[in-house]
């Protein structure tokens, strides 16, 4: 921690606010940065009680703080990458530009899994996979939700896996999550017919659309985690068709997708041997998650 003289901080903060307003960036983001890297809390920021102090403590010297805010304003770097962390569900996760910033809407996928295991508790004892784990958010939340399950987390990016491992270690379930480098199911062929559940937030944005998202996303987040091919559905299709070989009968298949993809995914699930198919919306009312259960009698032996 570096001490910053309060008068210098006050001077910088006034300029930082002005720049934010001029560039239509919410002042909440400035608070987010300061809450992340200084010893200030929400109340002292709101009521400016820090003004009575001589110094505030910051992870960086003031020149770095200034440079980082500059990156937010002029280069559209997401504030989560500047701070290097983001809150997601009850976790505070490390993020870098090697991983997609876990989104609030993705938090719902864990609640949907919780609903399914409440009805089918035997699933919570088995093997679960998070395909395209990125920061490890879903895998970590699954490990937390199902203390007796074995979680397998896969990503094709070595740099993302390094972040996911750090996150799982800091949340104390590093020993319960097995990490693999590779493409979708390829590293876990030994789990064919053994998965109780497959969860994924795969890349699902059409390639051309990836290039015209908000600049924070297009210019800074990994396209590998966003780009789902020409119609955005390449990975979703692969996950539907491949997972049947891997899931136990009645095993859960659940994925996130974007607006407008649900009909195609549900039709594919219906034609590929899934049942109990459910369409689920996010908190904004967008059809965001498809759920299916692999057909077959749960008692049947899988060979």
Stretch that binds ligand GLN, among 79-87, 118-126, 182-190, 195-203 (CB under 6 A): 195-203
Residues with Cβ within 8 Å of 128's Cβ and at least 6 positions away in sequence, in order, are: 142, 146, 149, 150, 151, 152, 195, 196, 197, 198, 199
Please tell me whether residue 103 binds ligand GLN under the rule CB under 6 A. Answer: yes
Establish if 205 lies at the interface with ligand GLN (CB under 6 A). Answer: yes
201 binds ligand GLN (CB under 6 A): yes
Residue 78 binding ligand GLN, by CB under 6 A: no
Q: Name the residue nearer to ligand GLN (CB basis): 35 or 217.
A: 217
Query: What CA–CA distance (Å, rounded) separates 191 from 11?
Result: 59
Site string for ligand GLN, 217-236 (x = CB under 6 A): x--------x----------
Measure the CA–CA gap between 253 and 108, rounded to whole angstroms: 15
Stretch that binds ligand GLN, among 1-9, 88-96, 176-184, 203-211 (CB under 6 A): 203-211
Nearest distance from C-beta of residue 132 to ligand GLN, angstroms: 8
Say how far residue 125 (Cα) sits from the centre of its chain.
24
241: DSSP letter = H
| Cβ atoms 179, 161 nearer than 8 A | yes
Q: Which of 102, 203, 206, 292 binds ligand GLN (CB under 6 A)?
A: 203
Does position 204 interact with ligand GLN (CB under 6 A)? The reply is yes
Binding of residue 179 to ligand GLN (CB under 6 A): no
The percent of the chain in helix, strand and coil, each rounded to the nearest 5, is 45, 20, 30
Tell how far CA 11 is from the center of its chain.
36
**Residues at the site binding ligand GLN, with contacts judged by CB under 6 A:** 100, 103, 201-205, 217, 226
């Amino acid at each position: 921690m570096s001490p910053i003289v309060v008068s210098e901080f006050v001077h910088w903060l006034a300029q930082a606010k002005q720049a934010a307003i001029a560039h239509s960036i919410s002042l909440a983001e400035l608070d987010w940065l300061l809450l992340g890297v200084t010893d200030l809390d929400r109340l002292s920021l709101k009521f400016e009680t820090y003004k009575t102090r001589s110094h505030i403590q910051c992870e960086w010297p003031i020149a770095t703080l200034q440079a980082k805010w500059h990156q937010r304003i002029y280069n559209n770097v997401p504030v989560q990458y500047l701070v290097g962390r983001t809150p997601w569900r009850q976790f505070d996760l490390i993020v870098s530009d090697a991983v997609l910033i876990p989104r609030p809407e993705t938090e719902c996928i864990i609640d949907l899994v919780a609903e399914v295991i409440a009805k089918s508790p035997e699933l919570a004892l088995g093997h679960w996979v998070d395909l395209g784990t990125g920061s490890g958010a879903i895998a970590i939340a699954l490990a937390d939700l199902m203390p007796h399950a074995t979680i397998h987390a896969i990503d094709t990016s070595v740099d993302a896996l390094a972040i996911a491992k750090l996150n799982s270690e800091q949340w104390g379930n590093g020993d319960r999550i097995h990490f693999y480098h590779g493409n979708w199911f390829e590293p876990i062929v030994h789990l064919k017919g053994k998965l109780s559940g497959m969860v994924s937030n795969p890349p699902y944005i059409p390639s051309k659309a990836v290039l015209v998202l908000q600049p924070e996303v297009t210019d800074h987040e990994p396209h590998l985690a966003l780009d789902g091919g020409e119609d955005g559905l390449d990975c979703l299709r692969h996950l539907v068709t491949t997972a049947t070989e891997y899931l136990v009968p009645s095993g859960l298949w659940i994925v996130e997708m974007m607006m407008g993809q649900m009909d195609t995914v549900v039709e594919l699930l219906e034609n590929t041997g899934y049942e109990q198919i459910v369409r689920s919306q996010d908190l904004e009312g967008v059809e965001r998650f498809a759920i299916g259960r692999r057909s077959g009698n749960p008692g049947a032996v899988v060979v």
